[in-house]
Amino acid sequence: MLAYAARRLTAVLITLLAASLIVFAVLQIVPGDPARLMLGINATQDAVENLRQQLRLDDPLHIRYLTWLADMARGDFGNSYTYSVPVRELINERIMVSVPLALMALFLSTCVAIPVGIFTASRHGTATDTATMAVTQFGIAIPNFWFALLLVYIFAITLRWVPAGGFPGWQAGAGPAVQSLILPSIALALPQAAILSRITRSALLDTLREDYIRTARAKGLPAGRVLWHHALRNALIPVLTILGLQFAFLLAGTIIIENVFYLPGLGRLVFQAIQQLDLIVVQSVVTLLVAAVITVNFLVDLAYAWADPRLRSQKR
Amino acid sequence: MFTKKILTTAVATSIWATSSAFAARTDLSIGMVLEPPHLDPTAGAAAAIDEIVYANVFEGLTRIGRDGSVQTALAESWTISPDGLTYTFNLRDNAVFHDGSSLDALDVVFSLDRARGAESTNAQKALFDAIESVEAKNDDTVIVTLSRPQGSFLYNMGWGDAVIVAPETAEGNKEAPIGTGPFKFTDWAKGSSVTLESFDNYWGQAPSLETVTFRFIPDAAAATSALLAGDVQAFPNLPAPESIPAFQADPRFTVVIGSTEGETILSTNNGKPPFDNILVRRAIAHAIDRQAIIDGAMFGLGTPIGSHFAPHHPAYVELVEIYPYDPEKAKMLLDQAGFADGIKGTLKLPPPSYARRGGEIIASQLREVGIDMEIVPVEWSQWLDQVFKAKDYDLTIVSHTEPNDIGIYARDDYYFDYSNAAFNEVIAELDRSADEDRRYELFRAAQEILTEDAVNGFLFQLAKNGVWDANLEGLWENSPIQANDMTGVRWSQ
């Protein structure tokens, strides 16, 4: 197990280094002058030059890359061009929204999807199964921003149970903060839950067709014990894969939902930074997200090995 | 009789004051589309900065009022020497910065020297270029000497870029702005909101509101929901023109369609053939149906303009009908210019919807008369690089939002690449003269020359779509300067 983990970890580090280089290189070919963008069309040329110097935009490329890498290794992400505060502060603030939101959505979707998947698989071919699958198809098809607007209309505008958007910050107390994340997490969880329940169902059905299940049944084991004890654990591998992918998506790809609920999350930070050519923020956050995705995949790999002992001994 | 009247008034006032103190709310959440990059109006062009801090947190020597006029602010009075070169400003002696230090003449000297100095990153440095020296005569008097008379000097000093800051706190203003205004900065939750609180030691009349929160809501649908759900009680410029009719029909809200300083124009590269030909430019002017663009791109909100000037300005001249919509006339002019076979070119469109949606409509209108423009969408940074800096464009659509900016047509090397000696002479005289009547005459002359030369396709003035709670009073109807002045805003119940 340890050797396996070590092999995977080396791969993780190499991927991360390559990603940072690509991210940095891509941003260098983005057209436009951040200083001019910040000062606008009425600014005089010497004011723009002064700002370029302040932002150290005139240093050679390789020096800027290596400085950035070295600083990042020390946990210093540099200063945002537009906000002029440390990027780390910005990221810390945003993570306090994005990570709880992603976890809430993942929790909701898992809580709904796994039972639904198991339930429909155990009633395979019945009317209940067909009806539930039709509902999940609907869940996948609904655009989540539209579903979000619908939730806002019902629960914020008509019933006034929760705010229509915004985030009061954790300093306002856990209650209001969690309350403001309820609708966004439901909107995010719906399509994820729909996908996950279908995956769970089909993985379970595939497993139930395996020979060893037939053997278990032939031994005279009760159906429930076959399902819960023998089939489920093996069916979990594809489910874990999807869960890992979904968490990475929920962390980085929630920009649309963040916009609908005007939440100050990571997605919006990147979006704003791109618009304002705040390259240092873009490259730091994107690298961080790459790191997060790679880490999640690494953990999923380890979870495979836990779920399926055969993977541990396999030579790769 | 006299005493009685005073007494009645006093009693009435105190009753009103008491009842309002019990009943009225003192907090307000305001929606804004864009979050400012920082909060220092002397170091950035972003309108969102001024929309939070102007007149609320920071004040200048003068200020621009809701009607666009120049009013007193930190200077309670001033005198101008007969030659128009020396301005003596008398400062308020009770003005205090939010950190407790009092305002004195040295703060003014510091602020103006910083804005015009060699190290300056002021986005409107040109506002200060007539200044030769700034001196403190004593604690409460500042003498500004100009190198040439400048008619707009007092107006310039009222811009957000010319506010007075203290030397001790100037560097920190981006994150924690310290000004002299009626509201002090308390908190900025990045990506979410900025909160201001009323400042107890303000020199002027205390504002009615105690807490003002500016919340950033970029999405049009979310902005509408936020108003309907009561999360924000005012949106001075709602980004969702499509939901204006619904708010107009709702008695809980007041809808005020005002005007901004944004002249939205089809900027034309006057230096590049065939657009250097005045007949071609006039043909374009005749080919454009302004109302169709306003209806199609802006949901009917916006005022057609015939030159580069705001319709709400007293010196505005109605020039829309000089080039009425007339495709046949346009074709004839193109014929005369020698382009009977048509013209090909590009139309570069920056991200705002007035440009992207308006551009589609204009391109189809131009195609009707044989001008075939290929649409090229660009990001702002590309627009600045290609269009504004390198003049690598044929036509583009952009809204010029700075107030009273007709002078840009006299700038050498500006991206329109337009040059007319007679126009430059008008602007030069405008710059010199301080007499209001003469200035208005010159403004009119300048507008007429631009229309005559059909420099750009003049489209419409951007509207300000104000929507707020029906119980809220005192918000600005127009925006003669980028600002959300909270000093006169209060809840009627």
Average pLDDT over residues A181-196: 93
Query: What percent of chain A has a predicted confidence (pLDDT) above 70?
Result: 97
- Test A164 with B120 for CB contact under 8 angstroms: no
Taking the C-alpha atoms of residue A30 and residue B215, their distance in angstroms, rounded to an integer, is 30
Average pLDDT over residues B151-157: 93
Report the Cα–Cα distance between both ends of chain B, in Å, rounded. Answer: 33
Q: Could you tell me if B213 and B193 are in contact, meaning their C-beta atoms sit under 8 angstroms apart?
A: yes
Q: What is the pTM of this model?
A: 0.83
Average pLDDT over residues B286-304: 94
| pLDDT band at A58; cut points 50, 70, 90 | confident
Q: Is B233 a residue whose pLDDT tops 90?
A: yes
Mean pLDDT in chain B?
A: 91
Mutant choice from B33, B122, B159, B192 vs A, greatest count of A C-beta within 10 A: B192
Taking the C-alpha atoms of residue B374 and residue B150, their distance in angstroms, rounded to an integer, is 43
| pLDDT band at A74; cut points 50, 70, 90 | confident
Rounded to the nearest angstrom, the minimum Cα separation between B217 and chain A is 6
- Please give the residue that has the higher pLDDT: either B305 or A217: B305
Hey, is B202 helix, strand or coil? coil
What does the pLDDT look like over A28-48, one tens digit per residue? 877 777 777 777 766 777 888
CB atoms within 10 A of CB A296: 18
| Chain B CB within 8 Å of residue A286 CB | no
Taking the C-alpha atoms of residue B69 and residue B90, their distance in angstroms, rounded to an integer, is 19
What does the pLDDT look like over B18-68, one tens digit per residue? 444 455 789 999 999 988 888 999 988 888 999 999 999 999 999 999 888
**A14 contacts: CB under 8 Å, gap ≥ 6:** none
Average pLDDT over residues B232-239: 94
CB atoms within 10 A of CB A96: 16
- Please give the residue that has the higher pLDDT: either B218 or B114: B114
Average pLDDT over residues B90-118: 95
B56 closest CA partner among B80, B32, B87, B20? B32
Q: Is A123 a residue whose pLDDT tops 50?
A: yes
| pLDDT band at A313; cut points 50, 70, 90 | low
| Chain B CB within 8 Å of residue A92 CB | no
Average pLDDT over residues B362-386: 91
What does the pLDDT look like over B165-206, one tens digit per residue? 999 999 999 999 999 999 999 999 888 899 999 999 999 999
Average pLDDT over residues A283-297: 87
How large is the greatest C-alpha to C-alpha distance in chain A, in angstroms?
Answer: 86
Q: Is B16 a residue whose pLDDT tops 50?
A: no
Hey, is B237 helix, strand or coil? coil
What residues of A are in contact with residue B189 (Cβ under 8 Å)?
93, 167, 169, 264
- Test A37 with B231 for CB contact under 8 angstroms: no
Q: Could you tell me if B487 and B298 are in contact, meaning their C-beta atoms sit under 8 angstroms apart?
A: no
| Chain A CB within 8 Å of residue B100 CB | no
What residues of B are in contact with residue A276 (Cβ under 8 Å)?
37
- A160-169, B26-35, B93-102, B442-451: which range is least confident on average? A160-169
- Whether ipTM > 0.85 holds is no
What does the pLDDT look like over B117-133, one tens digit per residue? 988 888 888 899 899 99
| pLDDT band at A267; cut points 50, 70, 90 | confident
- Test B389 with A265 for CB contact under 8 angstroms: no
Q: Is A200 a residue whose pLDDT tops 70?
A: yes
- Test A264 with B192 for CB contact under 8 angstroms: yes
- Test B229 with A167 for CB contact under 8 angstroms: no
Average pLDDT over residues B222-251: 93
Rounded to the nearest angstrom, the minimum Cα separation between B17 and chain A is 32
Average pLDDT over residues A66-75: 85
B58 closest CA partner among B193, B216, B169? B169
pLDDT of residue B46: 82
| Chain B CB within 8 Å of residue A160 CB | yes
| Chain B CB within 8 Å of residue A167 CB | yes
Query: What percent of chain B has a predicted confidence (pLDDT) above 90?
Result: 77
Q: Is B56 left (phi over 0), alpha (psi -120 to 50) or beta?
A: alpha
What residues of A are in contact with residue B379 (Cβ under 8 Å)?
31-32, 275
Hey, is B236 helix, strand or coil? coil
Q: Could you tell me if B447 and B308 are in contact, meaning their C-beta atoms sit under 8 angstroms apart?
A: yes
pLDDT of residue A193: 93
Q: Is A57 a residue whose pLDDT tops 60?
A: yes
Taking the C-alpha atoms of residue A137 and residue B412, their distance in angstroms, rounded to an integer, is 62
Chain center to CA of B35: 17
Q: Is B298 left (phi over 0), alpha (psi -120 to 50) or beta?
A: alpha
What residues of A are in contact with residue B123 (Cβ under 8 Å)?
38-40, 42-43, 47
Rounded to the nearest angstrom, the minimum Cα separation between A152 and chain B is 7
What does the pLDDT look like over B262-294, one tens digit per residue? 999 999 999 999 999 999 999 999 999 999 999
